[in-house]
Amino acid sequence: MFDVIVVGSGITGGWAAKEFCEKGFKTLVIERGRHLDHPSKEYTDMKAPWQLENQGLAPEAYDEQGRYQMLKKKKRSLKTDSIQFFVDENEHPYSYPEERPFMWTRGYQLGGRSITWGRQVLRWGPKDFKANEKDGHGVPWPIGYEDLSSWYDYVESFIGVSANKDGLPDLPDGVFQKPWEMSCAEVFIAENMAKNFTDRRLIIGRSANLTEPTQAQLISGRAKCQARSYCARGCSFGAYFSSLSATLPAAKVTGNLTIVTDAIASSVDYDEVSGKASGVTIIDAITKEQRSYKARVVFLCASALGSVQILLNSTSKTFPNGIANSSGVVGHYIMDHFIGAVGKAEVPGLEDKYSYGRRPIGTYIPNYRHEQQAGTDFIRGFGFQASATQRPKSGVTANSQGVGAAVKANANQDKPWRFTAVMYGEMLPYYENVASLHPTKKDKWGMPQLHIDAEFKENERKMSAQATIDIKEILEAGGCQNITVNQALGNKHMMVGARTHEMGGACMGKDPKTSVLNKWAQTHDVDNLFVTDGAAMASCATQNPSLTYMAITARAADYAAKLMKEGKL
């Protein structure tokens, strides 16, 4: 018997474990994937290209065997330096309509996708939490920025965020370490933009990479980022935040943490007499045997779609359609960010300037379209994630030609700087974008496959069309030349899930009839069951969501801990 069971060990699961363990509660973390240490033998950040399998590129046999096809569509070229941290959909299948494919990127190991995430940590602003209520799409948020502000502070202080204080009301500043520097080309564009726009800014990204580690972070075993940009390989320095390097070790030192890996959570158990969750039933990933664990409180942190699958599969007399699903909303409002436009251009006059090191974050143009503007026929907005590089690159990679003197001669040539800006648009929360259990298809452990049916609609297409106009204006105002712009959302192969920012499925809201969770991420129906990962999101804004997941999780754990100490849970 445990005080708390946390399902999932990634971004949010690690935070839930840390908070409960530090508050004195015996906590069990259930992870469906394999055990990993930190640093791990599976990390490849200390290997040179020639030490990697196939010099870092995926073997052609992967294509012949049909492996990692969804991931390949997303990444274009698979790399053996990090493929071990991703799931092959052939081994872990899911379902979707043929005409509406969904890209579900997963990482089944201790630490989850916190090992490979993009580390861009952007706060949501006040307008982001009010969007649903303002325009009537989705379920209105039961919380606002003021509810999360201090929790953003708390999370940022622990994980370490390198960023500049930009003074933007719609992208609030936080607790920051020294920011990464913009390149000469990015400074050139930023300065020109400032001369031509009052509402559009190019800023350095906000990254969960340590630049000025605190004493507490150093004592915990983390170190300053070395600017090698091998983050997705696993970081032996612990310089970027992951649950494997930061929150789980913090939980472990308390002596209150138990971790069970290779344990696939199949359902949350419900006690008909008490009206509470009694624990979690798992399937052993290796033996396929079932067993159950008991606890006073259950936190689902299995990823948005993973938690939805568990909720729907947790049936009982009271909840025949899934635990905490009296509203019928579980699985609905599936969202993801989308790339609707890509702008590329040359930055003139800087050919003799060079950069040193490999900065682990790009630059960012925050959303400037919170208000619908004259002449536009869409709602919500978009931002751009961008960076400037010298082209062609002087370095040698596994798929580039040349050796010896020819490569050295090329590296010594002056090269033009090119700037690329990628739109990140806000997808509206549509009720009909839904994840459900497939009626007949099951995985090899006997669990029903998740069937995901979600698509971008007219608002997203209109938004992407405007983004192609905007980015051209921005690049021209930034002083760029040879500008090209593509409207990516018009591509028939564009899939929901491609940004790996899946959200929704158990949204927060005030009304139990239209939402799954209350303002504490506590299910309306079962008061000792919480869902604090991406499933809790009622909208998706334009910013990368992980920082908000962490803040919601820390806040929910604090609330649950107080109720437990008062004997109410």
pLDDT tens profile 523-561: 999 999 999 999 999 999 999 999 999 999 999 999 999
pLDDT per residue as tens digits for the range 98-119 = 999 999 999 999 999 999 999 9
397 has pLDDT over 90: no
Q: Of the ranges 61-70, 225-234, 452-461, which one carries the lowest mean pLDDT score?
A: 61-70
The pTM assigned to this predicted structure is 0.96
Give the chain's length.
Answer: 569
**What is the DSSP secondary-structure string of 279-301?**
EEEEEETTT--EEEEEEEEEEE-
* Choice between 19 and 372, residue whose per-residue pLDDT is larger: 19
Q: Which residues of 476-490 are buried (b: 16+ CB within 10 A; e: fewer)?
A: ebbbbeebebebbbe
pLDDT per residue as tens digits for the range 1-51 = 999 999 999 999 999 999 999 999 999 999 999 999 999 999 999 998 889
| Cα 245 from Cα 242, distance rounded (Å) | 5
- Domain closes at, from 490, 507, 536: 490
Q: Is residue 401 very low, low, confident or very high in pLDDT (cuts 50, 70, 90)?
A: low
**277 located within any domain:** yes
Note whether 239 and 217 are same-domain residues: yes
246, 238 contact by CB (below 8 A): yes
For residue 8, what is the domain's CATH number? 3.50.50.60
Helix (H, G, I), strand (E, B) or coil at 159: helix
What element of type H or E holds 251?
A: helix 248-252
**177 located within any domain:** no
Helix (H, G, I), strand (E, B) or coil at 556: helix
Kindly tell me the burial class for residue 147, based on how many C-beta atoms sit within 10 Å of its own C-beta (0-12, 13-18, 19 or more). Answer: middle
Tally of domains in the chain: 2
**182 located within any domain:** no
**200 located within any domain:** no
Query: For residue 375, what pLDDT is reported?
Result: 82
**10 located within any domain:** yes
Note whether 474 and 542 are same-domain residues: no
Q: What is the CA radius of gyration of the chain?
A: 23
Give the 3-state secondary structure of 30-60.
ECCCECCCCCCCCCCCCCCHHHCHHHHECCC
Q: Is residue 398 very low, low, confident or very high in pLDDT (cuts 50, 70, 90)?
A: very low
Q: Measured between alpha carbons, how far apart are the two ends of the chain, in Å? A: 14
Q: Which of 539, 375, 541, 387 is nearest to 470 (CA)?
A: 375
Note whether 147 and 263 are same-domain residues: yes
Strands 434-442 and 363-365: unpaired
CA angle 32, 33, 39 (to 5 degrees): 135
Q: Which of 25, 9, 559 is nearest to 295 (CA)?
A: 25
Note whether 449 and 437 are same-domain residues: yes
Note whether 246 and 311 are same-domain residues: yes
- Domain closes at, from 466, 490, 514: 490
| Cα 9 from Cα 184, distance rounded (Å) | 40
Q: State phi, psi for 243 to the nearest 5 degrees.
A: -65, -30
Note whether 244 and 392 are same-domain residues: no
Kindly tell me the burial class for residue 210, based on how many C-beta atoms sit within 10 Å of its own C-beta (0-12, 13-18, 19 or more). Answer: buried
**287 located within any domain:** yes
Q: Which of 177, 193, 208, 179 is nearest to 115 (CA)?
A: 208
409 has pLDDT over 90: no
Work out the mean pLDDT of the chain and round it to a whole number.
94
| Cα 82 from Cα 86, distance rounded (Å) | 8
**347 located within any domain:** yes
Note whether 40 and 144 are same-domain residues: yes
Note whether 463 and 481 are same-domain residues: yes
155, 148 contact by CB (below 8 A): no
% of the chain beyond a pLDDT of 70: 95
269, 295 contact by CB (below 8 A): no
Tokens 């209520």, residue?
A: 133
Note whether 247 and 301 are same-domain residues: yes
> What's the token pair of residue 19?
């908070």
**150 located within any domain:** yes
Note whether 290 and 153 are same-domain residues: yes
* Choice between 466 and 70, residue whose per-residue pLDDT is larger: 466
Give me the domain span that covers residue 366.
342-425+458-490
Q: Which of 205, 193, 166, 268 is nearest to 470 (CA)?
A: 193
Q: Which of 58, 38, 387, 446 is nearest to 246 (CA)?
A: 38
Note whether 140 and 84 are same-domain residues: yes
Note whether 444 and 463 are same-domain residues: no
> What's the token pair of residue 253?
């030192």
Kindly tell me the burial class for residue 149, based on how many C-beta atoms sit within 10 Å of its own C-beta (0-12, 13-18, 19 or more). Answer: middle
